[in-house]
Amino acid sequence: MFCSRCGARLPDSARFCERCGHRVEEDGLAPGPAARSGSGVDRRLLAGLIGAAAIGAVVVVLAVTGVLGNEDEPEIARSTPSPAAPAPSPSPSPAATPDPTETAEARTRTVRATVQGTCGRDGVGGDCVLSVRTRPAASSTEIRRLSEGDSLTLTCQVRGERVYSSALGASSTVWSKVAPRGYVANVYVSGPDLDPRRITLPRC
């Protein structure tokens, strides 16, 4: 046993401490210094282990949270919808190609013309009459008749039914409008700058 005051080792039969004279019977047996020291070390060790365990738990939680955060980011990126493609711009409509048979002068001119070629080639194959019709077509209603060599005023021209002239040996779809009204086939009129197969006056 040990003295409770100074910690000296005493024989089991001792009644007083040989070092400090403390009476053993009053306090009873006391644990030695080594035992007290051991108890203190155990408590500090236990506290250190608890602290280390707490720190380790925090580190593990942070590590796991960081890993999960990194794994979630790709999912968010994949779930983000891609921007919609811009709508295609409408293609501009091609500009209308001007009729090559129209000349610049055709938009401002009228001419004085003469009936020609109605008697056929060399005076054979025709009736020497030109019909003025309501529309640019041989099947439309006849308004009046003009004879070979008659004069007429042409105000404009338009494409219509194709008409063949034996005098020219060619056909054309150009019709000329006659003042004050009606149309004649252009292959049967002659005048300054007139062409049987081209529009050379303003369009009707």
What is the pTM (predicted TM-score) of this model? 0.47
Q: What is the mean pLDDT of each run of 10 residues along the chain (204 residues)?
A: 80 80 60 42 69 78 59 44 60 52 53 92 82 96 96 95 91 95 95 91 93
- Please name the fold of domain 104-190: SH3 type barrels. (2.30.30)
Q: What are phi and psi of 138, to 5 degrees?
A: -70, -20
- Please tell me the distance from the alpha carbon of residue 52 to that of residue 56, in angstroms, as a whole number: 6
CB 136 within 8 A of CB 160: yes
Residue 1 pLDDT: 72
Give the start-to-end residue ranges of the domains of the chain.
31-75, 104-190
Structure tokens at 84: 């919609």
